[in-house]
Amino acid sequence: MNRVSRGWIAFIIFMTIMCGLLLVPTFAGDKLPSWWGKIFPSQGIRLGLDLKGGIFLLLGVQTDKALDQELSSMKVVVEKELKDERVLTKSARVESGELIMNFFSKEDLDKAVSYVEENFDTIADVSSENLSLKANVKSSYIAELEENSVTQVRQVIENRVKDFGLVEPSIQQSGKDRILVQIPGASNKDRERIVGLIKKAAVLEFKIVEATGLAKENLIAAYEVNSEEELTEKGFTIHEGDTGNENEAFFVTENIAQVTGEFIADARIAFDEFSRPAVGFRFRGEGASKFGDLTSANIGKRLAIVLDGRIKSAPTINDKITYEGTITGTFTPEEAKDLALILRSGALPVPVMVEQERTVGPSLGKDSIAKGRLSMIVGGILVIIFMAVFYKLQGVVANLALLLNMLFIMGFLSAFGVTLTLPGIAGLVLTLGMAVDGNIIIFERIKEELRLGKSPFNSVNAGYARSLWTILDANITTLVTALILFWFGTGPIKGFAATLSIGIISTVFSNVIVARAFTSLLYRNKEVEAVSI
């Protein structure tokens, strides 16, 4: 046996042992020792929703809210710029998909119109009438805005669900304004928590507290206005308190948040001075600078930490804070953990609503697994019998290579965390046929060489050498197609493509390397008189 054969035999043994170890979690489950996960993957082959059961959600994205949010953002920017230019705004509001700003003089109105036309000409159409400015978002930009909002929602939900620690969730857009979420293996017990994670807007704001009180009406009256709308026009807003202090049911804060959660780089569960669960957060770059300016300019005042419109805590600012902070409140450990997860993944740009929700039982999956297993066993036995009878000893070599091929594929599925679905099982069965096809090409080529009168030793070498490019050509073209399916496909299509891609690579290795190494062991003697084929 030459050195090359020895090296390949050693590599095949190594691969066999490694793939066997990678498959141990599939069969051992929770019985693995604690140190196993530090060396090898702790999860075995993962099953999809169609095989394992789980949670199915169809979410509707309220894209119409994106228009109001865009106009609200425009309002904040315009008001700030006009204030810097000493232009006095009488009132400003977003109403029926339109930004309306009222001014005290024609000169102020003209400056405002000029600024909006210059800076928002690609976004909005501007008109003026009776000291009022009106801005309407262009229809072409509305379509882009709605499309982007759906894409952003999908990304945020994907980050939240995956960070939750669930196995291979599938999040994909369905239609124009819907998102399909499939979470294999999630139990009915996890359903409410998962839905809460998905639906929570997680808009975090930091505002300076102006006043607190028990009754909303008294706080509004103290500012000499009659409604929350009039209070907003004066530059303030009112929030419900959720700090655990009964005497602070409502807070009055500045209207515009100087710092928001968009600058948060990380958030983790923490504990306050009384060992109660809290959420620690850390700012990045510009956020740290803005937070530092906000806290240094308001030492002695209270800073409201506002989450989705409710104030979770309002500590007193004792010193300048830049890098990090803590959100305290009446959290349970689970609530604090979920809030940290949501803040890390970012806020939803627009609200979502659950249109369909169901927990899929594993009964269909069990039936599919049983039938898939039966089809592979029956097909495998028939192939093994055919190869052994038709190709004799070389057929046995092919069968051994085929068994190792299936072990390698399953090991790679486990190592790469590929989720096995029903289409994935179909990909495995297809791979089984392709593996046998490669061996048949090689064996028929060996037969041709023997009929030409070449020696058994040279016939075997020529058969493998001259079949190599045929096998590579057939498998590479299939692999390219599978990779394209994986790149553009979603859900079951991606699972099928992933399984098929791994199967093709393993099959080429088994045909060209494994089968040849075993054949070299049988015919390493150049004086061998016949090939059993």
Q: How confident is residue 267, by pLDDT bands cut at 50, 70 and 90?
A: confident
- Which residues, 6+ apart, have CB-to-CB distance to 373 below 8 Å? none
Reply yes or no on whether the pLDDT at 529 is more than 80.
Answer: no
Q: Give me 83's structure tokens.
A: 């204030």
Fold (CATH) for 200-350 = Gyrase A; domain 2 (3.30.1360)
In this predicted structure, what is the pLDDT of residue 485? 85
Assess contact for 353 and 177: CB atoms under 8 A. no
Reply yes or no on whether the pLDDT at 231 is more than 80.
Answer: yes
In this predicted structure, what is the pLDDT of residue 251? 92
Average pLDDT over residues 510-525: 82
Reply yes or no on whether the pLDDT at 158 is more than 70.
Answer: yes
In this predicted structure, what is the pLDDT of residue 187? 63
In b/e form, how buried is each residue of 489-510, taking b as 16+ CB within 10 angstroms? Answer: bebbebbbbbbbbbbbbbbbbb
394 or 357: which carries more pLDDT confidence?
394
In this predicted structure, what is the pLDDT of residue 276? 80
Assess contact for 283 and 302: CB atoms under 8 A. no
Average pLDDT over residues 71-83: 83
**CATH architecture designation of domain 3-52+363-522:** Up-down Bundle (1.20)
Average pLDDT over residues 69-93: 83
In this predicted structure, what is the pLDDT of residue 364? 56
Reply yes or no on whether the pLDDT at 368 is more than 80.
Answer: no
Q: How does pLDDT run across 22-42, given as a tens digit for each residue? A: 888 877 766 777 777 677 776
Reply yes or no on whether the pLDDT at 71 is more than 70.
Answer: yes
In b/e form, how buried is each residue of 310-336, taking b as 16+ CB within 10 angstroms? Answer: ebbbbbebeeebbebbebbbebeeebb
Average pLDDT over residues 436-458: 85
Locate the domains of the chain by residue range. 3-52+363-522, 54-185, 200-350
Q: How confident is residue 3, by pLDDT bands cut at 50, 70 and 90?
A: very low
In this predicted structure, what is the pLDDT of residue 371? 76
Helix (H, G, I), strand (E, B) or coil at 129: strand
In this predicted structure, what is the pLDDT of residue 408? 92
Reply yes or no on whether the pLDDT at 20 is more than 70.
Answer: yes
Mean residue pLDDT across the chain: 81
Q: How confident is residue 361, by pLDDT bands cut at 50, 70 and 90?
A: low
531 or 8: which carries more pLDDT confidence?
8
Q: Give me 323's structure tokens.
A: 């890098």
In this predicted structure, what is the pLDDT of residue 1? 41
In this predicted structure, what is the pLDDT of residue 277? 84
The amino acid at 58: L
In this predicted structure, what is the pLDDT of residue 490? 65
359 or 283: which carries more pLDDT confidence?
283
Q: Do domains 3-52+363-522 and 200-350 have the same CATH topology?
A: no
298 or 167: which carries more pLDDT confidence?
298
Q: How does pLDDT run across 161-220, given as a tens digit for each residue? A: 776 655 557 788 887 888 888 777 666 667 777 777 777 777 788 899 999 988 888 888
* C-alpha–C-alpha distance, residues 369 and 124, integer Å: 56
> Out of 47-56, 256-265, 300-309, which region has the weakest mean confidence (pLDDT)?
47-56
Q: How does pLDDT run across 133-148, given as a tens digit for each residue? A: 998 888 888 888 888 8
Reply yes or no on whether the pLDDT at 157 is more than 60.
Answer: yes
Residue in 311, 204, 309 with CA at minimum distance from that of residue 249: 311
pTM here is: 0.56
